[in-house]
């Protein structure tokens, strides 16, 4: 790789990383603002569960449509539009005066977030050679937990008593990035994969040789993201119900996402060096350890340690999924393939908070009960990803 290509790759990954920071901030903001929103609009837990999930619901079709449009018309164009949509919608969220207005604004935020992420993954993967794809995607995705940590830090600093402050910051920040995306993101990289019109994507994803891999990948995405978003959305409220103060809760969220950043970088580098099946084994063992720790935690120090491990492997483990997904699809339909997997994952992410909201509304218990309920989902995801990665590893050795 010559100096020009190296600079282009670095520029692409840095821009994608910064957009991922904005995405992570906007994804965490509802969980941190939940108490203030509940008080302002007199909402019960079930209604808050829908506030968490409506944006995730919008991400599902947005990822599929955004991915296909990107393959045909260019990733840069779709990314610019997506960033504008979720930035403006975040600001609108802060201006809403009714519950249904909040739902509509979060739905539109989800449209933008859903269309952006597959393009960030594909751009980061395409920017480097085969031996560094895992590290590149993980470095980009590290921006998501860093964005969430930033949101938690603002909560700890208590710069404003209003829940609206987080949504203003989450909207203005990414809007400032739009000119840099337009000026600095290289067109050649974006448009290189737009030749995937020869076959409908469904035929590629579900042909005789791919259908099993696609279903296994989707299963891993669905259950891993279900648990990750249960933790991101419900842990703040559960910890406050358990007796923690709002400031202590913000510290826990911050530590969890610091673990996410560490885990994303560490696991991404292992992915490029170790046999493929080793990474899912590490990730899902770590997730089960974290859930066990959260189940038994009875002090602030134990909650902090368990939250760090949870972030490291649960949220950080998503970076592994995003690094794995591009490996299974050719460049011509890579965004479409990644978008399909992410969309299924978003379905899990959407359903998890709603199910837990209903569970809690029916008197289903607190933090320990939620952690116990998450364990079967992680076992299913672990089995799917281990089987798939071993198949891929054996095929690459032939």
Give me the CATH number covering residue 129.
1.20.1250.20
Query: Do 255 and 175 fall within a single domain?
Result: no
Structure tokens at 272: 């490029």
State how far the Cα of 45 lies from the Cα of 358, in Å rounded to an integer: 8
Looking at 164, 197, 230, the residue that finishes a domain is: 197
Return the pLDDT at 365.
67
Chain-centre distance for alpha carbon 27: 8
Query: Do 98 and 49 fall within a single domain?
Result: yes
Return the pLDDT at 267.
81
| DSSP type of residue 331 | G
Return the pLDDT at 66.
78
The number of domains in the chain is: 2
Structure tokens at 11: 């520029």
State how far the Cα of 249 lies from the Cα of 353, in Å rounded to an integer: 18
Query: Do 179 and 206 fall within a single domain?
Result: no
Structure tokens at 392: 């891929």
Query: Do 232 and 350 fall within a single domain?
Result: yes
Query: Do 181 and 204 fall within a single domain?
Result: no
* Helical segments of the chain, H only: 3-41, 45-73, 75-95, 99-126, 133-141, 143-157, 164-184, 187-191, 201-205, 211-241, 246-271, 278-296, 300-310, 316-324, 334-361, 367-397
Return the pLDDT at 192.
44
- How big is the chain by its Cα radius of gyration, in Å? 20
Positions of the chain with pLDDT lower than 50, given as ranges:
188-196, 198, 398
Return the pLDDT at 2.
56
333 contacts: CB under 8 Å, gap ≥ 6: 71, 193, 196, 199, 201, 204
Query: Do 185 and 124 fall within a single domain?
Result: yes
Query: Do 138 and 262 fall within a single domain?
Result: no
Query: Do 259 and 186 fall within a single domain?
Result: no
State how far the Cα of 315 lies from the Cα of 264, in Å rounded to an integer: 8
Q: Which long-range contacts (CB under 8 A, 24 or more apart) does 105-110 make?
A: 106/30, 106/51, 106/54, 106/55, 106/58, 107/54, 107/55, 107/57, 107/58, 108/58, 109/26, 109/55, 109/58, 109/85, 110/54, 110/55, 110/56, 110/57, 110/58, 110/59, 110/62, 110/86
In degrees and rounded to multiples of 5, residue 161 shows phi and psi of -75, -15
Please check whether residue 227 is in contact with residue 378, taking contact to mean a CB–CB distance below 8 angstroms.
yes
Q: What is the pTM of this model?
A: 0.74
Return the pLDDT at 168.
94
Looking at 140, 163, 197, the residue that finishes a domain is: 197
In 3D space, the residue among 193, 234, 26 whose CA is nearest the CA of residue 112 turns out to be 26
Return the pLDDT at 349.
80
Structure tokens at 323: 């690094």
Structure tokens at 60: 């599902």
Query: Do 125 and 92 fall within a single domain?
Result: yes
State how far the Cα of 305 lies from the Cα of 297, in Å rounded to an integer: 9
Query: Do 110 and 237 fall within a single domain?
Result: no
State how far the Cα of 81 lies from the Cα of 74, in Å rounded to an integer: 12
Task: Quickly count helices (H) and strands (E) in the chain.
Answer: 16, 0
Query: Do 85 and 100 fall within a single domain?
Result: yes
Residue 253: give the domain boundaries: 198-397
Query: Do 22 and 161 fall within a single domain?
Result: yes
Return the pLDDT at 159.
58
Print burial letters for 180-194: b (CB count within 10 Å at least 16), e (below 16): ebeeebbeebbeebb
Return the pLDDT at 161.
64
Looking at 197, 231, 246, the residue that finishes a domain is: 197
In 3D space, the residue among 346, 382, 348 whose CA is nearest the CA of residue 118 turns out to be 346
247 contacts: CB under 8 Å, gap ≥ 6: 156, 158
């Amino acid at each position: 790789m010559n100096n020009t290509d190296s600079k282009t790759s670095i520029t692409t990954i840095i821009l994608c990383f910064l957009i991922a920071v904005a995405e992570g901030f906007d994804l965490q903001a509802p969980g941190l603002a939940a108490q203030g929103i509940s008080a302002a609009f007199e909402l019960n837990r079930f209604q808050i569960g829908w506030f968490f999930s409506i944006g995730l619901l919008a991400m599902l079709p947005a990822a599929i449509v955004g991915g296909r449009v990107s393959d045909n018309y260019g990733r840069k164009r779709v990314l610019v539009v997506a960033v504008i949509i979720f930035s403006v919608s975040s600001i609108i969220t802060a201006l809403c005066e009714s519950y249904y207005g909040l739902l509509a604004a979060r739905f539109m935020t989800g449209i933008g977030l859903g269309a952006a992420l597959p393009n960030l993954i594909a751009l980061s993967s395409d920017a480097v050679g085969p031996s560094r794809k895992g590290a590149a995607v993980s470095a980009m995705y590290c921006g998501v937990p860093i964005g969430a940590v930033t949101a938690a830090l603002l909560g700890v600093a208590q710069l404003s008593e209003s829940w609206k402050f987080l949504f203003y910051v989450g909207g203005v920040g990414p809007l400032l990035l739009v000119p840099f995306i337009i000026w600095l993101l290289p067109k050649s990289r974006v448009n290189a994969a737009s030749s995937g019109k020869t076959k409908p994507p469904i035929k590629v994803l579900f042909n005789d040789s791919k259908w099993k891999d696609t279903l296994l990948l989707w299963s891993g995405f669905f259950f891993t993201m279900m648990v990750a978003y249960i933790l991101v959305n419900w842990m703040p409220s559960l910890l406050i119900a358990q007796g923690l103060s709002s400031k202590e809760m913000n510290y826990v969220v911050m530590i969890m996402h610091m673990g996410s950043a560490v885990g994303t970088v560490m696991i991404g580098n292992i992915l490029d060096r170790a046999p493929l099946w080793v990474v899912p084994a590490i990730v899902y063992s770590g997730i089960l350890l974290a859930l066990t720790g959260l189940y038994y935690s009875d002090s602030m120090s134990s909650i902090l340690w368990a939250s760090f491990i949870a972030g490291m492997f649960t949220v950080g483990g998503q970076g592994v999924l995003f690094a794995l997904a591009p490996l299974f699809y050719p460049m011509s339909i890579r965004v479409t393939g990644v978008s399909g997997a992410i969309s299924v994952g978003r379905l899990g992410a959407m359903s998890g908070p709603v199910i837990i909201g209903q569970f809690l509304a029916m008197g289903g218990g607190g933090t320990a009960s939620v952690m116990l309920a998450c364990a079967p989902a992680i076992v299913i995801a672990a089995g799917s990803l281990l089987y798939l990665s071993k198949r891929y590893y054996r095929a690459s050795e032939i």
